[in-house]
Structure 1
Amino acid sequence: MKKHLSTILLAIFFVFSAIAHYAHLNPILQFVVSAIAVVLVAGFLGRATESVAHYAGQRLGGFLNATFGNAAELIIAIMLLREGLYDMVKASLTGSIIGNLLLVLGLSIFAGGVKHKIQNFNVALANMNGSLMIVAVIALFVPALFLNTHSITPTEVDTLSLIVAGLLIAAYVAWLIFSMITHKKYLEDVKDPKAPEDHEEPKWSKNKSILFLVIATVMTAFVSEWLVGTLETFTTDFGFSELFVGAFVVAIIGNAAEHSAAIMLAMKNKIGASVEIAVGSSLQIALFVAPVLIFVSFFLGNTMDIVFTTLELVAIMVSVFIAKSIIQDGSTNWYEGLLLLVTYIILGVSFYLV
């Protein structure tokens, strides 16, 4: 009954969102309906990805979850680029990174820790993730430093942004080869000998899971476009800054798939998969999605530089610092999850007051 209810709600809000958009109803109503539709579609996307992950294996499954979970954010960002809202794109990227590292990871560790006192995962994977997060911070920090110290011109910043974007994409592809092929066993998750064997069968067959994954991604593209069309009015009417809307409103809505999947896995004592989704998603945003958007903007005729504001850089660095310190020992508990959530709330209140 619960499964049917979620499907019915998804269909209702998807259709209602389409009607609100094409009938040009009140923009605030469009925003609310579209936001709910995005969350419901993201939940459907998360369930389809989790089902595919069962057949693909935990590491590849975590990667697929992060990838398709980021589909909403990538599509929303491309729509924002077409509208020329570059500042909101950067804010949404910032929000995605800190949202995954603090909110998604924090909720997962907290929920999993409440049910299971101590949860363990691969220390080597934790350390590699930490190193990659630092590389992402360096890639964002260096161009901003050189521009703000007037060492290079804005035109040269565009060139530097494209070069850095290319290097980050290469580094991300190399990471996939390293983690999925050459060092796959080295990074395999830790199995708790006391934990019961998981014999839970997926809800859908392999072919049906793949089909639903494709359908969910297409639906995400539509509802994301409808949502973006309402953001400017929403921001103006409520007096929110683009920074807050991009970093928290858009990011929280876009992260819905990761929220649901990561928390469910953590409560099943699969914290390694949860970390893979949350941290892996942040890395994918920083090392792949952001660079891809820079190239997309270049082909659209106006390159978006990789220079983030001081506030955005500080938020990302704070998130990376606390997340790395918590996951580096390969062990988590509910209190560490609470610390991540407290940090997220501090940043959220600060961005709201900007």
Structure 2
Amino acid sequence: MKKNLSTILLIIFFVFSAIAHYAHLNPILQFIVSAIAVVLVAGFLGRATENVAHYAGQRLGGFLNATFGNAAELIIAIMLLREGLYDMVKASLTGSIIGNLLLVLGLSIFAGGVKFKVQNFNVSLAGMNGSLMIVAVIALFVPALFLNTHSITSTEVDTLSLIVAGLLILAYIAWLIFSMFTHKTYLADVTNEGDDEHESPEWSKGRSILYLIIATVMTAFVSEWLVGTLETFTEDFGFSELFVGAFVVAIIGNAAEHSAAIMLAMKNKIGASVEIAVGSSLQIALFVAPVLIFVSFFLGNTMDIVFTTLELVAIMVSVFIAKSIIQDGSTNWYEGTLLLVVYIILGVSFYLV
């Protein structure tokens, strides 16, 4: 009954959001309705992901959720690129990375830790994720360093950005081959290996995949409608573009991962939650950001990979605390609290900029 009610509410708010957008109703009303719709779609996507994970395994299920969840983020960013809002694109990418590493991972670890005293997952996977996060930080830090020290010109930094973007995409593809094929067993989460055998999936395999796709498409539409209200929202509430991009847009774009990761953690599937949160951040840094650089290049005006000092510091801090917490392959509610505290500190700091 509860699931049927959520489905009905999802349809109602999705339709209402579409009407508000195409009828050009008050932008703030559009924002509120679309935001509620995103939350409801996120819950639907979380259910679909959980079912897919039952058939495909936790690692692949987590990867699929991160991929489908980031589809909305990619669509929002491309729309912002077309409007020339490069600074907001970079801010939203920053927000996605720190949001997943601090907010999504923090809430998941906290929620799972409240229900289960200690949760464990594959230590090798934690170590590899930590190394990849450091690579992402290096890739973002080096171009900014060389440009700000005037070692290279702005034209040369565009070329460097394209080269770094290409290398990051290759690194991400190599990671997929390593984690999904050549070392699949090595990175498998064996701590909850038998749990799924005692659970019956809500939907069939085909229906689960279909619902996952439908939920993603719905998220993309609602996200697109939200982008059109951001300018009015920013002006009416007096927020900076940096804050809106790094926190408002990022939270909305990552709503799908939020619910799915928390739901899985509360079912003692913390390995899948970590794969969603950390995997999504890695996908943003190693794939989505580089793809956007190439998209901007083909649009005729290359977006460089140089982030501001504030954005770089926020990413570095997030990577540092997240890596230190997950590296032992064990989590508890207090560690989740620490991640959330750091997220709030960054949020207040960005708000005051």
Residues 198 and 348 (structure 1), Cα distance of their counterparts in 2 relative to 1, 3 Å cut = farther
What does the per-residue CA deviation read over 1:6-65, in whole Å, with 9 as the maximum and x for residues that have no partner? 111111111111111111111111111122222222222222222122111111111101
- Check whether the contact 2:54–2:196 (CA below 8 A) recurs between aligned residues: no
1:221 & 1:197 partners in 2: Cα distance?
30
Identify which range, 129-138 or 25-34, moves more after superposition: 25-34
Tell me the CA shift for residue 169 of structure 1.
0.4
Tell me the CA shift for residue 195 of structure 1.
8.4
Tell me the CA shift for residue 196 of structure 1.
6.2
Residues 146 and 212 (structure 1), Cα distance of their counterparts in 2 relative to 1, 3 Å cut = same
Q: Which runs of 5+ in 1 are unaligned?
A: none
Residues 146 and 11 (structure 1), Cα distance of their counterparts in 2 relative to 1, 3 Å cut = same
Residues 195 and 50 (structure 1), Cα distance of their counterparts in 2 relative to 1, 3 Å cut = closer
What does the per-residue CA deviation read over 1:311-341, in whole Å, with 9 as the maximum and x for residues that have no partner? 0000000000000001111111111111000
Tell me the CA shift for residue 230 of structure 1.
0.8
Give the alignment of 1:1-354 within 5 angstroms: 1-190=1-190, 198-354=197-353
Tell me the CA shift for residue 155 of structure 1.
1.0
Residues 197 and 171 (structure 1), Cα distance of their counterparts in 2 relative to 1, 3 Å cut = closer
Tell me the CA shift for residue 223 of structure 1.
1.2
- Check whether the contact 1:49–1:68 (CA below 8 A) recurs between aligned residues: no
What does the per-residue CA deviation read over 1:55-96, in whole Å, with 9 as the maximum and x for residues that have no partner? 111111111011111122111111111221111111111111
2:265 & 2:42 partners in 1: Cα distance?
18
Residues 68 and 197 (structure 1), Cα distance of their counterparts in 2 relative to 1, 3 Å cut = closer
- Check whether the contact 1:50–1:65 (CA below 8 A) recurs between aligned residues: no
What does the per-residue CA deviation read over 1:144-189, in whole Å, with 9 as the maximum and x for residues that have no partner? 1111111111111111111100000000000000001001111111
Runs of 4+ in 1 over 4 A off after TM superposition: 194-198
Residues 196 and 61 (structure 1), Cα distance of their counterparts in 2 relative to 1, 3 Å cut = closer
1:161 & 1:197 partners in 2: Cα distance?
43
Question: May I ask how many residue pairs the two structures share in their alignment?
Answer: 351
RMSD of the alignment, in Å? 1.4
Q: Secondary structure at the match of 1:70?
A: helix
- Check whether the contact 2:95–2:245 (CA below 8 A) recurs between aligned residues: yes
Query: Could you state the TM-score of these two structures normalised by the residue count of structure 2?
Result: 0.97
2:195 & 2:173 partners in 1: Cα distance?
35
Query: Could you state the TM-score of these two structures normalised by the residue count of structure 1?
Result: 0.96
2:85 & 2:196 partners in 1: Cα distance?
49
- Check whether the contact 2:42–2:260 (CA below 8 A) recurs between aligned residues: no
1:196 & 1:63 partners in 2: Cα distance?
19
- Check whether the contact 2:50–2:264 (CA below 8 A) recurs between aligned residues: no
2:254 & 2:115 partners in 1: Cα distance?
23
- Check whether the contact 1:17–1:30 (CA below 8 A) recurs between aligned residues: yes
- Check whether the contact 1:42–1:254 (CA below 8 A) recurs between aligned residues: no
What does the per-residue CA deviation read over 1:256-284, in whole Å, with 9 as the maximum and x for residues that have no partner? 11111111111111111111111011100
Q: Secondary structure at the match of 2:229?
A: helix
Tell me the CA shift for residue 251 of structure 1.
1.1
Tell me the CA shift for residue 306 of structure 1.
0.6
Residues 341 and 81 (structure 1), Cα distance of their counterparts in 2 relative to 1, 3 Å cut = same
Tell me the CA shift for residue 197 of structure 1.
6.6
Q: Which runs of 5+ in 2 are unaligned?
A: none
